[in-house]
Amino acid sequence: MKRGQDQHRENALSYALDQIVVGIGAKHIIYNAFAATLNEGDEVIIPTPFWVSYPDMVAINGGTPVIVGCDESSGFKLTAAALEKSITPRSRWLVLNTPNNPSGAVYSADELKALCEVLMRHPHVWVMTDEIYEHFVYRGARHVSPLQVEPALAERTLVINGVSKAYAMTGWRIGYGAGPLALMKAIALLITQSTTCASGASQAAAAVALSGPQQCVAEGAALFAQRGERIVGLINAIPGMRCVPPDGAFYAFPSVQGLLGKSTPQGKTLANDVDVMMYLLEQAGVATIDGTSYGQPGYLRISFATSMEQIEQGCKQIAAAVAALK
């Protein structure tokens, strides 16, 4: 499958075949990268909101997740000042996810340049850049890889990607990483001695997806842009909820802080975002994920990777449930 991967085509990144490792999903590469590099007590800097698996994978491998809060005022993005403050002699990795799950934040070239300037001053800190949602950017945003901004970081950067999002191939379980040779050899060793390899049939299918016509990806991005605009408008019309439009990925990440303290028809007080999540599931029949799970209390993640009809009906049910609060 490696011959079907083309980082250069979209991100101007070029790798030799032995600098690319294929796994059974992007998570597989991330986990094995931590397994290959972390010693007990090594720190991994993770900005909020984060994909829920990052901190757990760090902890399982003996590392210490260093959670850096990034709130709505910063666009849910890590700033250079916050990064500088979080770095210690034990820092091993910085994890960047752009476009971000769950917030939809997309780092600009200037924002990445500021972060890269900090990283250049700290050569012991490696960069893991999870770019699985790279094709889904909206509202004039453009995906930029940190290595496009600072190629000198290539010797300590692992680029993560896969086919589950852009090509809707989640169940095929194909992800891949590209990075410096020594790291990729270590990851490959762990994979070959544990899971052996990704399914040959899945690799063949992924190679066709990556090397074939890309019009379906552009069409998917256009659909998500329309759905994202629609769901944000519907959410912002609900009293007590507020949603910043996402620049990427396919999630809305509304604040539900305006609902906290209200009482349900059953007499339960909504004390936090987990309570709101459960209330919407039970009362409205709509599944969301609490922001606390992503390190960002007071918010919910709502996927718009579904039809416009489902989005409109779901938001209608949420609105009715919110209207029933006292």
The confidence score (pLDDT) of residue 136 equals 98
**pLDDT per position as a tens digit, 21-42:** 999 999 999 999 999 999 999 9
Predicted local confidence at residue 12, as pLDDT: 79
298-318 tens-digit pLDDT: 999 999 999 999 999 999 999
The tokens for 214 are: 């890309």
12 vs 242, more confident: 242
- Residues 123-161: pLDDT tens digits? 999 999 999 999 999 999 999 999 999 999 999 999 999
| Mean pLDDT of the residues in the chain | 96
Quick check: 8 pLDDT over 90?
no
Q: Which domains does the chain have, with CATH numbers?
A: 2-211 (3.40.640.10), 216-323 (3.90.1150.10)
Over residues 70-91, mean pLDDT: 98
Whether pLDDT at 48 is above 50: yes
Question: pLDDT tens, 161-187?
Answer: 999 999 999 999 999 999 999 999 999
Instruction: With cut-offs at 50, 70 and 90, classify the pLDDT of residue 4.
Output: very low
**Burial profile 274-289: b = 16 or more Cβ within 10 angstroms, e = fewer:** bbbbebbeebbebebb
Per-residue pLDDT, averaged over 66-86, amounts to: 98
* pLDDT > 90? residue 47: yes
Per-residue model confidence as pLDDT tens digits over 250-298 = 999 999 999 999 999 999 999 999 999 999 999 999 999 999 999 999 9
| Burial class of 12 by CB neighbour count within 10 A (0 to 12, 13 to 18, 19+) | exposed
Tokens representing residue 126 in the block: 């490696």
